[in-house]
Amino acid sequence: MTVTNFIRSLGLFCLLPHFVMSAEPSRERPGVDLNRVFSANNVTPRGRYYEATVPDTLDLAERAKLAIHALTEALNPESGYSPYGHAFFKV
């Protein structure tokens, strides 16, 4: 979604309660055509569609194992388990 389309969609949703809550929108706002505002061209998401094969489950234990591995393997046991790449400069 481009920024322009996002801004248009955001404006549409900001104005929506104003149109819906009005008892007589045709008398108060004669130039507003809600059928045109909510046409299929305006509310259909833009982009590309494709089919993909994805797993139907998420193995949380495996993901936790990978996260712990990423956090602990960046530590240097010879330096009090401080992270590699950290340096302190005295000014």
pTM to 2 decimal places = 0.29
Which whole-number Å values give the CA distances from 33 to 19, 30, 41, 81, 91, in the listed order? Answer: 10, 8, 14, 66, 67
Q: What is the pLDDT of residues 17-30, one digit of tens each?
A: 655 555 454 455 56
**CA-atom Rg of the chain in angstroms:** 27
Instruction: Please determine, for residue 39, whether its predicted confidence score (pLDDT) is greater than 80.
Output: yes
The mean pLDDT value of the chain amounts to 75
Domain extent listing, the chain: 3-43
Q: Give the start-end residues of each E strand in the chain.
A: 75-76, 82-83
**pLDDT grade, residue 83 (50/70/90)?**
confident
